[in-house]
């Protein structure tokens, strides 16, 4: 049975319903992870959980130690990763409260430690990243969303920006021209690092606000927090549904 790790993003610093058995403070060659790796029983199976931004939420997207986080999960026994991300909606069909299971990503970040293949190499290493998300895990997420009756899109392009500020209207217009459907700040380099460590990886993205210029309203953190509060139960239900399957 596949050992799943859940990486919780904004709004999911704890996994309600997880029967915690132990926590691991994993030392990595890349520094300290955002939080301890929590190991427990969830939906009848062993699951690992890591809060991407720490618990409490304290690491901004550009300050997350993605290399340490993914390495720690691999060392703790993870074979596949379910990444939960809060995003803004660019495509007209990606309204607040909508779920997207992206099939592609465009990386607009800069200055992040984005690879394990950087130093003391005997040979240059390249990975195939043509299809950044594991299709079998994507299909499991989609089946769980459908079974729960949650509105969702079965594909989408995730544009990952640097943060921590939100984007300008012109930047969102550029992302839209590039083909992005949703925008977030944490999708990369997490997905690529998982691929480097041969971990199956897929993203469950919850739209928590219209992207800049996609609404006449000013984007506020209060609005985002309301959307997170409304949607996080659906996130948990979806994860439970997926994990309850063999």
Using CA atoms of 132, 133, 134, 136 in order, give the dihedral in degrees to the nearest 10.
-140
Q: pLDDT by residue (tens digit) across 25-39?
A: 889 999 999 999 998
Return the beta strands (E) in the chain as ranges: 4-8, 19-24, 37-42, 45-51, 80-89, 99-100, 104-107, 152-153, 157-160, 182-184, 200-210
**Residue 7's closest CA among 240, 146, 202, 184?**
202
Using an 8 Å Cβ cutoff, are 25 and 36 in contact?
A: yes
Binding site annotation covers 186?
yes
Query: Which pTM value belongs to this model?
Result: 0.92
As for how many domains the chain has, the answer is 1
Contact 158, 187 (CB under 8 A): yes
Residue 185 assigned as binding residue: yes
- Of residues 107, 214, 199, the one with CA closest to residue 158: 107
**The domain that contains 72 carries what CATH number?**
3.40.50.1580
Given this model, what pLDDT does residue 22 score? 84
> Is residue 52 annotated as involved in ligand binding?
yes
Domain that holds residue 23: 4-244
In this predicted structure, what is the pLDDT of residue 9? 67
Render pLDDT for 146-190 as a digit per residue (tens, 0 to 9).
Answer: 999 999 999 999 999 999 999 999 999 999 999 999 999 999 999
The answer on whether 61 is annotated among ligand-binding residues is no
165 annotated ligand binder: no
- The reply to whether omega before 244 is within 30° of 0 (cis) is no
Query: Known binder of ligand: residue 51?
Result: no
CA distances 176 to 71, 107, 157, Å, are 33, 14, 10
Angle formed by the axes of helices 221-244 and 135-148, nearest 10°: 100
Residue 45, pLDDT score: 85
- Which pLDDT score is estimated for 16? 66
User: What are the residue ranges in the chain where pLDDT is below 50?
Assistant: 13
Q: Exposed e or buried b for every residue in 169-188, given b needs 16+ CB within 10 A?
A: eebbbebbeeebbbbbbbbb
């Amino acid at each position: 049975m596949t050992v799943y790790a859940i990486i919780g993003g904004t709004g999911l610093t704890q996994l309600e319903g997880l029967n915690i058995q132990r926590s691991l403070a994993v030392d990595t060659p890349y520094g300290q992870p955002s939080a301890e790796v929590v190991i427990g029983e969830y939906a009848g199976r062993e699951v690992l959980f890591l809060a991407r931004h720490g618990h409490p939420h304290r690491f901004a997207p550009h300050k997350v130690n993605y290399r340490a986080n993914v390495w720690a999960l691999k060392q703790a026994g993870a074979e596949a990763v379910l990444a939960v991300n809060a995003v803004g909606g660019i495509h007209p069909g990606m309204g607040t409260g909508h779920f997207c299971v992206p099939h592609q990503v465009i990386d607009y970040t800069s200055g992040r430690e984005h690879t394990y293949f950087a130093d003391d190499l005997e040979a240059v290493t390249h990975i195939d990243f043509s299809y950044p998300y594991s299709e079998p895990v994507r299909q499991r997420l989609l089946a769980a969303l459908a079974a729960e009756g949650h509105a969702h899109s079965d594909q989408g392009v995730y544009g990952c920006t640097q943060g921590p500020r939100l984007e300008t209207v012109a930047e969102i217009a550029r992302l839209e021209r590039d083909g992005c459907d949703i925008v977030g700040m944490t999708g990369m380099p997490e997905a690529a690092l998982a691929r480097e460590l041969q971990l199956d990886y897929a993203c469950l993205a919850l739209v928590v606000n219209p992207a800049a210029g996609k609404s006449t309203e000013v984007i506020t953190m209060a609005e985002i927090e309301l959307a997170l509060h409304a949607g996080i139960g659906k996130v948990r239900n979806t994860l439970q549904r997926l994990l309850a399957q063999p």
